[in-house]
Amino acid sequence: MISKTTLLRGFGLLRLLAVFLAALPLLALPALGLAWIWLSDHRPFWLAALGICAVSGYGLHLLAARIERSRSKTDQAEQPIDPESRTTRPAPHWSRQDEACWVKVEELAQRTSPKDWAVADVQRIALLGRDTLDVVAGHYHPEADKPLLELTIPHALLITERAARDLRREITRTIPFSHKLTMGLLARINRWRETARQYETLYRLGRAVLSPYSALFHEVRRNLGNSIAGYGLDNVKAWLLREYVRKVGYYAIELYSGKLLLIDEDPTARPTSATRSNLSDLNDAGKQDASAAEPLRILVLGRANAGKSSLINSLFGRLRIVTDALPGTTQAMKAYRLEREGRDAALILDAPGCDTDLLPSKALRQAVLDADLILWVTAANRADRQTEREQLDRIRSWYAERPSRRLPPLVVVVTHIDQLRPIKEWQPPYDLNAAPSPKAVAIAAAVQAVARDLNVPVDQTIPVCLAQGRLYNVEDTLAAVILELQEESEKARFLRCLEARKGEEFWSAVKEQMKTAGRMLGSVLR
């Protein structure tokens, strides 16, 4: 516990005395001025000016409050919340399930008001935190009688540790001399404050008895000033309460969604087992840096002879695969590197045709769940797309069964557009929004039909030509669309790696526990 004498010594008595003497004339001016006004004949004018200024200030305060409310409604209707503000925001890597839970947390935060939750009441604040936890736990465990208890003990301790760490950093950074304060000193300050309030009440009562006229104006000024200051204080209290709800909700979502690793590690910081397995099949796998991050995994799917291998050759700039005219050329799932600046930027996975026996459903499911971006290649001159639609619906169902994951971005690449009628016409580029030529009309119709048949957005259905000497719309439009979807792909990668790390963490913990149990058993049997 730090005494007042210790604090004064820390500041320096001589330095404090020097500052006090230097500021004494300025500090005396307000007191001397008030004494002069009180003893002179100008007191009524001063009191009148005080009242007029107080009323005018209160009127301006009401006008500012009305303008602020009107502006707030306009901003909420037309503009998103500023991401650069100090308000807690949802994490960008969250899944759709997590984002839906955050909506509930935000609704609770918006309903939270200082009128219902006193900031100074610790028990009420704890109850507000409990209500927030109930909302989050009920979202992830709606079938449980007590959803709050559906968490592991290590993760409960971890969330407490992280919340305490963040609170410690914030207090140390923002509150002056907080690293010197003790709980005993805070308790004494609180007692001094209560004593000061009692003496203030006695002072106001005494002034009302001795000088009712002066006391009346002082009370009017005090109430108006407190009202203006209280408006800002209420806004601060409301922000604190809502931020408290958001902060508790944020950590609760991290906790109940199963996204917390027991070690402080970025899930994408090193390759997953699936990526290591793919890289081990490449001749230069030994050249890989052990500290390399997990690359994006781009999966190329579609029917046999739809142009998957040709697309890979055209899109990524190198001849990765020797294309053959025979159907079913790609006999198994193959991985190819996309390197940038000496590092793996992506793994391109070429899959056998989905309409062949070379790609079993189990292998397809694993490949899809290990993908961050899916390029689905379909031929424009084939209208029978029922099999492709069934495969895509199956892919969507696999991710629907895993709400903690994000469905990777899906881009449909429409190939063989040069074979659409009129077949002999080929004079690119073609403007599909204003289609003056029969070829452009046919391409636009094919894109619309593919988007409808496969249930994908039109803006993610890209027509290309991969024929030798007729390469069209690959490096510009298709590459631009993939680049626009990179952020979504990285979110899918994060959740994929997180799921892989959770599995590794589970088996690593079991292995370590078995070793410890074996050593303990061995020591007992000796």
Evaluate if pTM is beyond 0.75. no
Residue 241 inside a domain? The answer is yes
Does residue 98 lie within any of the structural domains? yes
Residues 309 and 426 in one domain: yes
In this structure, the answer to whether residues 356 and 242 fall within a common structural domain is no
Q: Assess whether 303 and 282 both reside in one domain.
A: yes
Question: How far apart are the C-alpha atoms of 48 and 52, rounded to whole Å?
Answer: 6
- Are 277 and 375 in the same domain? yes
Could you count the other beta carbons within 10 Å of the beta carbon of residue 103? 11
Looking at per-residue pLDDT, the higher value among 141 and 173 belongs to 141
What is the share, in percent, of the chain residues with pLDDT greater than 70?
A: 74
Claim to verify: residue 282 and residue 248 sit in the same structural domain = no
Single out the residue of 401, 399, 379, 357 nearest to residue 454, CA to CA: 379
188 in a domain, yes or no?
A: yes
- Whether residue 38 is contained in a domain is answered as no
The mean pLDDT value for 373-402 works out to 95
Q: Which of 107-121, 150-164, 382-396, 435-449 has the lowest mean pLDDT?
A: 150-164
Which residues span the domain enclosing 294? 273-499
pLDDT digits (tens, 9 = 90+) for 287-337: 455 557 899 999 999 999 999 989 998 888 663 443 443 344 455 788 888
The burial of 495, by beta-carbon neighbours within 10 Å (0-12 exposed, 13-18 middle, 19 or more buried), is given as buried
Residue 124 sits in the same domain as residue 190: yes
Q: How many domains does the chain have?
A: 2
Q: Is residue 66 part of a domain?
A: no
> Does 183 map to a domain?
yes
Question: Do 304 and 250 share a structural domain?
Answer: no
- Is the same domain home to 358 and 490? yes
Lowest mean pLDDT among 31-40, 344-353, 407-416: 31-40
Q: Which of these three, 260, 284, 300, is where a domain ends? A: 260
Q: What is the pLDDT of residues 61-110, one digit of tens each?
A: 667 767 766 655 454 444 333 333 457 889 888 999 999 999 999 999 99
CATH classification of the domain holding 403: 3.40.50.300
Same domain, 377 and 414: yes
Same domain, 306 and 441: yes
Last residue of a domain, one of 233, 260, 287: 260
**Domain assignment present for 67:** no
Domain shared by 131 and 213, yes or no: yes
- 460-499 pLDDT, tens digit per residue, is 999 999 998 899 999 889 999 999 999 999 999 999 999 9
- 374 shares a domain with 492: yes
- Which of 260, 281, 308 is the last residue before a domain boundary? 260
Residue 37 lies in a domain: no
The residues pairing with 472 across neighbouring beta strands, listed in sequence order, are 465
